[in-house]
Structure 1
């Protein structure tokens, strides 16, 4: 009896798909509900390449799809714009792995923050 080696066996390797979005934080000139200054929070807590966080805000009176952007210390620095929030919100609800990085922080009178958002599925 001959025992043969089956060379037609396929090995399946799952490679995650990554969707990358570049955008900027909106509402950075406003103060938070607790009176804290988003500009001060950005100045003190946000640097280029910092990991940031996103948090859905379904009770927002202006937009039920609102998504807050938080510093590494969980302080709000602004929001995603309406279109980006609608794109990202399903990933937040589905607990998709999301990496958010400050790509730039700049400005003279008013600081702004650029984001890179990576959705890993």
Structure 2
């Protein structure tokens, strides 16, 4: 939940489940999706606490451990970085991913016009 939501006392969609949580950034947010849609435009419509899906891409020609991040409506946001995708992929394969959501949308101001995403991932 973002600082404004906390200030106003608004609740997230649902509280994340108990478990070990990690906050990580994603990569590739400035690229376009295969359908030509702008990831930047999609991210600008997202909000803190919004659930996201992590989709393994074993046939990805650049990285067999690639994990695509998208909204629940399958709108692409970017990828888990190579620094994290192998261990996260193993946890997903074991069914240990309990929750994945946007922790914060960052940027979009004079200092940084492009927007990015921090994820909150909760594992058993």
Report if the CA contact (8 A) 2:56-2:68 is conserved: yes
In the alignment, structure 2 segments of 5+ residues that lack a partner are 1-16
CA distance in 1, matches of 2:123, 2:73: 22
Moved over 6 A (4+): none
Structure 2 residue 42 is the aligned partner of structure 1 residue 38: no
Report if the CA contact (8 A) 2:97-2:121 is conserved: no
Q: TM-score, normalised by structure 1?
A: 0.79
Q: TM-score, normalised by structure 2?
A: 0.77
Number of aligned residues: 104
* Matching residue of 1:76: 76
* Matching residue of 1:24: 25
* Matching residue of 1:9: none
CA distance in 1, matches of 2:97, 2:104: 22
In the alignment, structure 1 segments of 5+ residues that lack a partner are 1-15
1:96-115 matched pairs, under 5 angstroms: 96-108=96-108, 109-115=113-119
- Aligned-pair Cα RMSD in Å: 1.7
Greater Rg by CA = 1
1:41-60 matched pairs, under 5 angstroms: 41-44=42-45, 46-60=46-60
